[in-house]
Chains A and B, each alone.
Chain A
Amino acid sequence: MADTAGRNTRPLALHVPEPRFRPGDAVSFDDLDLPAAGAVGRPPVDAAPAALRDYPYTLIRVLDPEGRAVGAWDPRLAPDRLVRMLRGMMLTRAYDDRMFRAQRQGKTSFYMKCTGEEAVAVAAAHALHRDDMCFPSYRQQGLLIARDWPLVDMMCQIYSNAGDRMKGRQLPVMYSSKEAGFFSISGNLATQYPQAVGWAMASAARGDTRIAAGWVGEGSTAEGDFHAACIFAAVYRAPVILNIVNNQWAISSFSGIAGAEATTFAARANGYGVAGLRVDGNDPLAVFAATEWAAERARGNHGPTIIEHFTYRVEAHSTSDDPSAYRPADEARAFPLGDPIERLKQHLILIGAWDEARHEALRAELVEQVRAAGREAEALGTLSGTAFNHGFETIFEDVFATMPPHLKEQSEQMAEERRVAGV
């Protein structure tokens, strides 16, 4: 203990943030400052960062409580586009539900749902061009689904089966698809952020027209890579969109542990002199509009944008997590931004482009689509069913483009070991 005797000063106190609610507490988000839909103006895409410094402290919302699209951020999308967005979000949810069950049935080791966050990926994918490059985190499966990537391919990755193009090397949900512009996911957090900036810088340096987008969770903004990406993006005005998915929880650590008590995550942009927007992440039209704004800004060589998507992680972090141990069971229901699928559905019904019967028919169709894909994928094996779908010699492949002598030697040693063991 420090000796404070004789010093006429109060002892210092360390502040350790705590979430407002723990299991058993009554949940209320009444004090959350949520601007009304349409309340925030839409600046020109070439606005100087200095003119944008208030945007990170508010919340861009388009859909009002009745489901009307209001205000300057209304992207005025055609109904068929809105229905495709709805379909993408519903398919993502159906897919999540089936793969979660598959994990519980022991067909794979691990799964991560994005329930409640479907708009963050699906609406963004609709606002980007198909050939723009995505550097996602592990909860943006909606990007692949919105880009019509085959569900069977995604499922094969989860099962590490014979159809897994990654040869069973990656943790389930760590997809990769160069063709779909979806970068290989890393378990080390925020590493994809500088990579997204580098890709965007390369595109700009080569006079290409494609832009890049990266995603991290709010917890990962504490990583050094986040700040490395921001400074490079700012310095070179890289054509990149840096998305922060603030779903309130980084496993059991609430957003305050990543700095949310002191400021917003979007406000990090101000320190770097780049554009920052903060959007209602459960409002698909707001996510689309903000992404479209940032994409236009990037394409016009006006620089990067940091977008904070304010949302909520409805489910557990992963199948290995138990959120009832650290947050109230009804917190997700009490979160005031609602469900993104329900909100878009309500909007479509309001404008006369949708109805409950069509919605139910689509839901049933998507469940069947996922089921059919599941059967097809499982026919190629599951992690538990046919555990070793890839030849043992593949262990030594792809470490380098050409196998060097020491790996050839080790490969032969393993073959001999298996021969002796009779397997």
Chain B
Amino acid sequence: MNMIQAINSALDVCMTRDEAVVVLGEDVGYFGGVFRATAGLQKKHGKTRVFDTPINECGIIGVAVGMATYGLRPVPEIQFADYIYPGMDQLISEAARLRYRSAGEWTCPITVRSPFGGGIFGGQTHSQSPEGIFTHVAGLKTVIPSNPYDAKGLLIAAIEDPDPVLFFEPKRIYNGPFDGHYDRPVQPWSKHGSSEVPDGHYTVPLGKAAVVRAGEAVTVLCYGTMVHVALGVAAETGIDAEIIDLRTLVPLDIETITASVEKTGRCVIVHEATRTGGFGAELSAQVQERCFHHLEAPIERVTGWDTPYPHSLEWAYFPGPVRLTQALHRVLKD
């Protein structure tokens, strides 16, 4: 399966197992979503469980919160993460705090799915990585898969989770992994181990990172598309990097991170979002707080620039192999 098929399978499995799971969003019904992630679900599960909505993200998320308080498990789709902002008050002030403000009397088990990230010539309105805005909010979980197996297992875990989860899907790797060189074709997932996705139910637990490449020289912290960029750079340069796919930003698997940095003594953080105040800043702070005496070089951040995502120059914005390789050489030179 590719990642889209894996996400479709996760939704199908959850809808089949639990009548309470419903899918709503722009174009998700008859058409099956602009990325086809919900294809066939309406036909199979009916149009009161999978349905198209008005173009109103506040409504999509607000209605999902109401449905969750009724007892359903809504999985709203925001067609592009760039469009999540009109629904942010419902996420931040309502979904995230409902359990807390009512001391558990009301809960909000919604999973908001949204394709995010650039590298598809989406310009500044179809390329953003807003995860850092949401990881700053108490009460929300943020999940980002990097391969089809994890995408299905994490999405099922998110839908079954009793709390609100943001599930950001790296759309650049929907169809296959990508080493960061924009001029090379995307590899199909069928040639990749993690494309072996079971048909039935399984979960990948939230809050657990994966060491996707063992190494001794430097720890690379990454998620989503950047996992593949990091793997590509390690293969190209031969740098003995330990690459950690975070999978879940909140809750964060700090134990796996610190164990690795204590071993390697060096840390490079990679994400596609703008740098200032991004999730990389949080990772850097936590690594510094916990691993300072093990560090042999300053922590480096490899990120998108602090600009909007430019359409025609997106590959100059994208934190690709050159930017990451330079950072790795800098932290390894001492």
Contact = CB atoms under 8 A, between A and B. Distances in A.
A188 B89 contact: yes
Contacts, number: 146
Interface stretch (B54-62, B215-223, B297-305): B54-62
Interface residues of A, number: 47
A175 to B, nearest CB: 10
A178 interface: yes
Interface in A301-323: none
Nearest to A175: B102
A196 B56 CA distance: 16
B103 A191 contact: no
A194 interface: yes
A184 B106 contact: yes
Interface string B64-81: 111111111010000000
A405 B66 CA distance: 29
A404 interface: yes
B105 A165 contact: yes
B90 A231 contact: no
A198 B138 contact: no
Instruction: Give the contact-size bracket for chain B.
Output: 35 or more
A197 interface: yes
Interface string A170-185: 1000101110000110
B207 A198 contact: no
A212 B252 CA distance: 38
Nearest to B139: A399
A202 B103 contact: no
B211 interface: no
Contacts of B98: 184
B101 interface: yes
A202 B163 contact: no
Contacts of A202: 22, 66-67, 70-72
Nearest to B70: A202
Contacts of B35: none
B254 interface: yes
A195 interface: yes
B99 interface: yes
A184 B163 contact: no
A411 interface: no
B65 to A, nearest CB: 5
A200 B67 CA distance: 8
A199 B101 contact: no
Contacts of B64: 198
Given A195-B69, A199-B69, A199-B70, A225 B141 contact: no
Contacts of B63: 194-195, 197-198, 201, 228, 232
19 contacts: A133-B70, A166-B101, A166-B105, A170-B101, A174-B101, A191-B90, A194-B58, A194-B62, A195-B65, A198-B63, A198-B65, A199-B66, A202-B22, A205-B22, A228-B63, A235-B53, A398-B100, A399-B100, A406-B254
Interface of B: 22, 48-49, 53-54, 56, 58-59, 61-72, 74, 86, 89-90, 93-94, 98-107, 138-139, 141, 161-163, 207, 250-252, 254-255
